Structure 1
Amino acid sequence: MSAESVCLQCGACCAYFRVAFYWGEADPNIAGAVPMELIQKLDALRVVMKGTHSRPVRCVALDGTVGQSVCCTIYESRPSPCRELQVAWVNGVPSEQCDRARLAWGLQPIEMGDLLTAVSPLPSFTLPTNPPIVAQP
């Protein structure tokens, strides 16, 4: 199972954490910025994704059912906290945040073996029965 497929079946982080970030990430003059209509002011320098400021948390950009099938409706324009949070065991690194969010939703933490992806097997070869003899100098 790939990290992407785990995320598309989970979504727990989007319905557990407050997503706060620098307001400049939502600057409408910047291509790929977080849409202004999906944020609210947190303080002088930070904004939050709507739906994540207080409990119960559910980001307005999350579509689907947590733990079954989800997607981010602004994936290409998602804010930095969403880009930085990694699925547990991606690149062999655990993620306390991923585990905590999954447990809060009654989902088991991801095990390292869950993210093994299919790799092409090594080409097969047969050792020669009569290996060449190399003359010693």
Structure 2
Amino acid sequence: MSDTSELNPCLACGACCKSYRVSFYWAEAEQRGLPAFLTEQVNPFLSCMAGTNTKRPHCAALLRSSDGGFACRVYEQRPAPCREVQIGDDKCLQARARHGLPALPVDGLSREM
């Protein structure tokens, strides 16, 4: 695991990307520079990250990294719902538990993802 993913486990985990629908106001995708093929229209006002609007979500931006972890290919452009999940918060812990991952100790970790 790289030094970056040790400081920010979100760069290697991927549990929330495989747990939740990531929906946001449609214009946010363009504002953030998200590629159109990574978003889906939900209704006239909302879009979501491709692959997350299913019973078993798996964001299309989530890639398997060479070290066996996961990486978001648009981490810097990720929409607001992705930015709202914080290391060790309820959504993070629920997603990690859903995928059999242990809770993260938040001491010493950056809470800004």
Q: Is the 8 A contact 2:20 2:52 kept in 1?
A: yes
SS at match of 1:40: strand
1:47-77 alpha-carbon deviations (Å, 9 max, x no partner): 1111100122110000116xx5111111121
Asked if 1:107 corresponds to 2:101, the answer is: yes
1:20 shift after superposition: 0.3
Distance 1:107 1:114 in 2: 19
Number of residue equivalences: 103
Q: Is the 8 A contact 2:19 2:58 kept in 1?
A: yes
Structure 1 counterpart of 2:16 = 13
Distance 1:37 1:82 in 2: 18
Pick the structure with more helix per residue.
2
2:25 to 22, 25, 40: 22
Distance 2:107 2:28 in 1: 35
Distance 2:34 2:49 in 1: 9
Q: Name the CA shift for 1:86/1:43 in 2 (closer, same or farther; >3 Å).
A: same
Structure 2: gaps of 5 or more residues: 1-5
Superposition RMSD on alpha carbons, in Å? Answer: 1.9
Structure 1: gaps of 5 or more residues: 89-94, 117-137
Structure 2 counterpart of 1:47 = 47
1:67-120 alpha-carbon deviations (Å, 9 max, x no partner): x511111112111111121111xxxxxx1000000000001111234739xxxx
